[in-house]
């Protein structure tokens, strides 16, 4: 009876450790009443009509980005990146993309979508729990107070390929911003999403 009780106690302790590990990866429970999961942000992002982001690239250039997801697939069916400093705009759709240089009045047309991964907000958040588990990345969910947004939910991811922190609105569960510390993907243009606005109409001049 003692041996059985001891074995049950060991299994119960192991179960507690497993549950605690899952909670630390996926959940944030500040007051014991409200629970946050990464899936809530994925679900919220799948419902948006547009995202209007103000970003900084790895060279310090400021970018303005418009994203319009396909409601059926969640993938982006329209992306526009503009940079006033270097006087260019890129419009990318699944079938065709355009480079536009207003100062030179030049347009270059390329088949297919040339801007994909690092501007896919849903994929960025959704991959946290999938790729982190598979690749052994560390993901910590917590909270902090920021100058720009006040109190936010934070998702800090550290892995072999990259390290970044994402900020989540506690009310809407939408992504407020992302800041990368490092990234080994040579195709990733954006270092930080400094501000993201949702469901603004895309200007007619960009369509």
> Tens of pLDDT along 9-62?
343 343 333 333 334 444 445 445 468 888 899 899 989 999 999 999 999 999
Question: How confident is the model over 134-143, as a mean pLDDT?
Answer: 79
Nearest-angstrom CA–CA distance, 200 and 197 = 7
Are 55 and 48 contacting, i.e. CB atoms less than 8 angstroms apart?
A: no
Q: Which of 156, 153, 150 is nearest to 180 (CA)?
A: 156
> Mapping DSSP to helix (H, G, I), strand (E, B) and coil, where does residue 60 land?
coil
- pLDDT of 7 reads 41
- pLDDT of 58 reads 92
- pLDDT of 91 reads 87
- pLDDT of 119 reads 67
Nearest-angstrom CA–CA distance, 83 and 5 = 67
Pick the residue with more confidence: 6 or 68?
68
> Tens of pLDDT along 79-129?
888 887 777 788 888 888 888 887 777 788 888 777 665 567 887 787 766
- pLDDT of 86 reads 78
> Mapping DSSP to helix (H, G, I), strand (E, B) and coil, where does residue 41 land?
helix
In this predicted structure, the answer to whether residue 133 has a pLDDT above a threshold of 80 is no
Nearest-angstrom CA–CA distance, 116 and 191 = 15
Output the CA–CA distances (angstroms, integers) from residue 30 to 6, 34, 144, 149, 206, in the order listed: 34, 7, 11, 18, 42
In this predicted structure, the answer to whether residue 159 has a pLDDT above a threshold of 90 is no
> Tens of pLDDT along 189-206?
889 999 999 999 988 877
Output the CA–CA distances (angstroms, integers) from residue 34 to 20, 30, 109, 170, in the order listed: 17, 7, 49, 10
DSSP structure string for 105-153: TEEEEEES----GGG-HHHHHHHHHHHHHHHT-EEEEEEEEETTTEEEE
Question: Strands, E, within the chain: which ranges?
Answer: 27-28, 36-37, 51-57, 62-69, 76-83, 88-92, 96-101, 106-111, 138-146, 150-158, 162-168, 175-183, 190-198
């Amino acid at each position: 009876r003692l041996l059985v009780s001891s074995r049950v106690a060991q299994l119960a302790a192991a179960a507690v450790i497993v549950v605690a590990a899952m909670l630390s990866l996926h959940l944030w429970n500040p007051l014991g009443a409200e629970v946050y999961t990464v899936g809530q942000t994925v679900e919220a992002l799948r419902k948006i009509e547009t995202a209007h982001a103000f970003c900084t690239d790895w060279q310090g250039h400021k970018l303005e980005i418009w994203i319009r997801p396909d409601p059926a697939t969640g993938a982006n069916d329209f992306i526009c990146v503009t940079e006033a400093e270097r006087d260019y705009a890129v419009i990318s759709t699944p079938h065709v993309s355009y480079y536009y240089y207003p100062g030179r009045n030049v347009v270059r047309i390329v088949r297919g979508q040339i801007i994909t991964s690092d501007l896919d907000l849903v994929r960025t958040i959704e991959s946290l729990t999938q790729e982190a588990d598979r690749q052994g990345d560390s993901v910590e969910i917590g909270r902090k107070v920021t100058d720009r947004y006040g109190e936010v939910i934070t998702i800090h991811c550290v892995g072999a390929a990259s390290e970044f922190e994402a900020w989540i609105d506690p009310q809407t569960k939408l992504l407020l911003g992302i800041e990368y510390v490092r990234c080994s993907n040579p195709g990733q243009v954006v270092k930080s999403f400094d501000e993201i606005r949702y469901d603004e109409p895309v200007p007619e001049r960009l369509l």
